[in-house]
């Protein structure tokens, strides 16, 4: 959640808007901008039966939505109502970060970033210019940190089902 980075990423769709308006990219951007919603989509309903294997798949989906696709609908469908925020200056709860993500900003490509789900801790990670860490409970994102986080060693990261 680095501001400078998020603002830089926000310029990409604006550039696209300057292109001919019949371009499909414009429609995609329009579809993904949900800032007219006062409260975010979701929340995720925790389900105690969700397994670690299922959580790994959900964590990859969350990384894609947050970093690669800029898809606020999917991203917030995976955040629970009690989301605990450790980023200074932001309130807990999904509403506390909605304005940062509602416009569907993309942060990076899958090649330029990385992700991990560590089943031994139920933590997922996304690495771009910084590292974010989230704790998963019942198949939902429940808690977030982004201060001096480190990616776990690769061998600790779950492999997705083929
Ligand atoms: C909870 O998760 C389990 C395992 O994925 C699933 O079989 C079940 O349908 C889920 N229950 C609800 C209410 O979604
Ligand atoms: C991680 O979540 C699973 C359910 O998906 C749970 O059984 C397990 O106890 C949790 N592990 C930790 C370290 O919290």
CA distance 78 to 38: 18
C-alpha 91/C-alpha 102 separation (Å) is 16
Distance from Cα 108 to the centre of ligand 1, integer Å: 32
Structure tokens at 1: 């959640």
Residue 65 lies in a domain: yes
| Gap from CA of 84 to ligand 2 centroid (Å) | 18
CATH number for the domain spanning 50: value is 3.10.450
Range of the domain at 96: 3-156
Task: Give the lowest-confidence range in 26-40, 113-127, 130-144, 146-160.
Answer: 26-40
Q: Is the CB of 121 under 6 A from ligand 2?
A: yes
Question: Rounded to the nearest whole angstrom, what is the distance from the C-alpha of residue 122 to the centroid of ligand 2?
Answer: 6
DSSP 8-class letter at 44: B
Point out the ligand 1 atom lying closest to the alpha carbon of residue 45.
Answer: 14
Query: Is 98 inside a domain boundary?
Result: yes
> Considering its fold, how many domains does the chain have in total?
1
Strand partners, 127: 114, 131
What CA–CA distance (Å, rounded) separates 44 from 72? 13
Residue 162 lies in a domain: no
CA distances from 142 to 22, 32, 44, 124, 157 (A): 40, 23, 9, 11, 19
Would 89 be classed as within a structural domain? Answer: yes
Q: What is the pLDDT of residues 106-139, one digit of tens each?
A: 999 999 999 999 999 999 999 999 999 999 999 9
CA distance 119 to 155: 11
pLDDT at 27 over 60: no
Ligand 1 cavity residues, CB under 6 Å = 47, 49-50, 54
């Amino acid at each position: 959640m680095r501001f400078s980075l998020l603002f830089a990423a926000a310029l990409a769709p604006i550039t696209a808007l300057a292109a001919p308006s019949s371009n499909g990219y414009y429609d995609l951007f329009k579809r993904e901008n949900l800032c007219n919603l006062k409260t975010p989509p979701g929340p995720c309903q925790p389900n105690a039966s969700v397994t670690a294997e299922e959580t790994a798949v959900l964590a990859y989906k969350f990384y894609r939505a947050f970093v690669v696709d800029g898809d606020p609908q999917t991203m917030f469908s995976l955040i629970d109502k009690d989301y605990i925020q450790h980023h200074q200056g932001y309130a807990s709860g999904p509403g506390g970060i909605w304005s940062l993500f509602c416009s569907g900003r993309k942060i990076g490509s899958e090649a330029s970033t990385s992700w991990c789900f560590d089943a031994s801790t139920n933590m997922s990670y996304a690495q771009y210019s910084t590292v974010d860490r989230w704790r998963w409970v019942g198949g939902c994102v429940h808690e977030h940190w982004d201060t001096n986080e480190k990616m776990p060693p690769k061998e600790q990261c779950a492999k997705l089902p083929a």
